[in-house]
Structures are given as structure tokens and as C-alpha cells.
Homo-oligomer: A and B are copies of this chain.
Amino acid sequence: MSRRPGLYPNDRVTLREVGLRDGLQMVKSYPSTAEKQNWIAREYAAGVRHFEIGSFLPAARMPQFADIRDLIATVAGLEGAVSSALALNERGANDALETELDEIVCVVSATEEHSQANMRRSRDEAVKLVADIAGLAAHSSRKPFVNVGISMAFGCSLAGAVAHREVLQLVDACLDAGADIVGLADTVGFAGPKQVAELCTATARLCGDRPFIIHLHDTRGMGIANASAALDAGARVLDGSLGGLGGCPFAPGATGNVVFEDLVFLCESKGFATGIDLEALAKVRQIPEAAMPNERFHGALARAGPPPNLAWRAGA
């Protein structure tokens, strides 16, 4: 059982905005802290509650995440909002534990090749780090959630195909190590909906009554189809980024998380209420678009709007 089941209820869909983290990982320029805070506030007003907002890394290495503490404070001031941030080592986790962060995100690569190239550690060492961070979190005063993302879970830019069995073993190992929730990431956008359905079905079986996260990239146009397949297979927590911003610095060719706005439309059209006002959400794009005029933003809903004369919302 999760220590904080309320963070991710498993009886409805939760959408996580990862644009402020994954979306800013590769950009040349990035929004100011005030612009990010406005982005968060406007999305919160539209109904978004889960925000992955940065990474605990030396500011010299990733200056776009230097304001992580300010953003955690921003999210902490919004009732019911959840802040998440990456911690890639014990130092990052200790830094995180000094804040009001709600969720520490760890990353474990699905393949040994990517683990070594990306994190300079083996998968076993990465799982050991999860256990260490989960231990630190459990003994802290605020006891943040520990969320482990399995990157390259649907195929790896270095190692090629990834056996589902290996991913499931890692999911199991991470839960054993004390993860509260595990995510499957299609980091380089290799997956198709058949594969997503199969791996999500197996993961749902393994996780039992714990929810799991599905993190998709739209690199090959399959993002929404994969999200749809994941929902059908029992996934109830999905990552996305406003305007499909995002990529992975260690994954050549990986462009764009699945578009958050389009994900909202998909969920609602499938009967899953998201609590998000799609029209209000689409308008928030103005903030990152103005702050990053050189980035390419994606998404169909922001362009076309929802069907004007149709009851497309869940329960409508």
C-alpha cells in the first residue's frame, strides 16, 4: 500500500504536468521564475493539481532549475496541489527533504547501456539509490512520496528492444526498495499502442491496487494512441506537457512529451473526468510560448478547440 494514497487515487485519472521539468530540460532559453509561477498558477486555476517542476542539480549544470525551491513554495501555497522534482543522487534527495516538496522523483534506466551512459551507474546501483532515498524520505518529517520513473521502458536508443520481463523486474525491485509509485517512460518515443497495452496490463497486475504512471513522448506521433491504450489497460496516472514541450538530453531524437491539452480531451472523451478546464488550459500556452519564442509547441486542441456543439466531456 502507498503511504499517501490520496496523492494518486486509483479510482480516477490523474494528469501530471511535467513541462516545467521535462519540457525545460533541453531548451536554450527558459521562462523566468515569475513566468513559471504564473504558468503554475494559471494551470492550477484551470484544474491541474500535479506539477513536476524541476530537478535538484547544481545550478551551474542546469540553470533552468536553479529556482526549484521558489517553485516548490509556489505549489505549496496552492491547496491540493502536488509538487514533484527529480533527485538524481543522495545529495539531491537531502536538498529536497529540506523543502516542502511533495514527491521526489528518481530515475532508473530500463537498460544497462542507458543506465551507464546516462547516469554512470548500473541498474542495480540505481535501485539501491531508490532504497536509500526512500529510507531518507521515510525518516524525514514531511515524508514525501517517492516516485521512480523507469526510463527507456519501451525501447532504448542505445540498446534497442527492451524485454517486458526486465521492465517488470525493475518495477518490482523499485517497489521493494520503497517506491510509492512507479512510472513507465517511453523516453524516446519508440512505443506503439499494442506494446503499451501489453506492458501496462502486466504492470497493473504487478502493482495491484497501487496506481502507476505512464510517461509518453510523441516523437513518432503515437503519444495519444499510446495514452489511450494505457488507459484501456488500467493506467490511471499520465504525464504530459503543455504544448508538448520536452525531450531528453540523453536520448537523441526524442522530441516532445505527449501534449497535455490533447491528453485532457482524450481522457474526457473516454469517460475519464480530469477536473481540468480545457479551454482555460489551452490559454496558458501563451506563457511558455512568449517566454520561449524559439521553441516549437505542438497540439491540436489549442489550434482547433474542442468540438463546439458536442458534449465531449466525461459524464456530459
Chain A residues proximal to chain B, CB less than 8 Å: 155, 157, 159-161, 188-195, 218-222, 224-225, 227-229, 253, 255, 259, 262, 265-266, 269-271, 299-301, 303-312
| Cβ–Cβ contact A227 & B224, under 8 A | no
| Majority-rule SS of A interface residues | loop
**Please, which residues of chain B bring their CB within 8 A of the CB of A189?**
300, 304
**Please, which residues of chain B bring their CB within 8 A of the CB of A259?**
221
In whole angstroms, what is the CA distance A304 to B161 when docked? 17
In whole angstroms, what is the CA distance A282 to B231 when docked? 30
Q: Which of A160, A161, A307, A311 has the most CB of B within 10 A?
A: A307
Residue of B nearest to A224 (CB): B225
Residue of B nearest to A299 (CB): B221
The count of identical subunits is 2
| Cβ–Cβ contact A192 & B265, under 8 A | yes
In whole angstroms, what is the CA distance A303 to B271 when docked? 32
A-B contact pairs, 26 of them (CB 8 A): A157-B308, A159-B309, A160-B307, A160-B309, A189-B300, A189-B304, A190-B310, A190-B312, A191-B269, A192-B270, A192-B312, A193-B225, A193-B228, A194-B271, A220-B262, A220-B301, A220-B304, A220-B306, A221-B262, A221-B301, A222-B262, A222-B265, A225-B225, A225-B228, A255-B303, A255-B304
In whole angstroms, what is the CA distance A173 to B296 when docked? 47
| Cβ–Cβ contact A307 & B269, under 8 A | no
| Cβ–Cβ contact A305 & B228, under 8 A | no
A226 to chain B, nearest CB (A): 8
**Please, which residues of chain B bring their CB within 8 A of the CB of A310?**
155, 160-161, 190
Interface residue from B161, B224, B253 paired with A222 (Cβ < 8 Å): B224
Q: Which of A189, A221, A311 has the most CB of B within 10 A?
A: A221
**Please, which residues of chain B bring their CB within 8 A of the CB of A265?**
192, 220-222
In whole angstroms, what is the CA distance A79 to B128 when docked? 61
**Please, which residues of chain B bring their CB within 8 A of the CB of A301?**
220-221
In whole angstroms, what is the CA distance A86 to B269 when docked? 32
Residue of B nearest to A256 (CB): B300
| Cβ–Cβ contact B194 & A270, under 8 A | yes
In whole angstroms, what is the CA distance A259 to B223 when docked? 14
**Please, which residues of chain B bring their CB within 8 A of the CB of A228?**
193, 225, 228-229
**Please, which residues of chain B bring their CB within 8 A of the CB of A229?**
228
**Please, which residues of chain B bring their CB within 8 A of the CB of A190?**
307, 310, 312
A193-B228, A193-B266, A255-B303 given. 12 additional CB < 8 A pairs? A155-B310, A157-B309, A160-B307, A160-B310, A161-B311, A190-B312, A219-B304, A220-B265, A220-B300, A221-B300, A221-B301, A224-B225
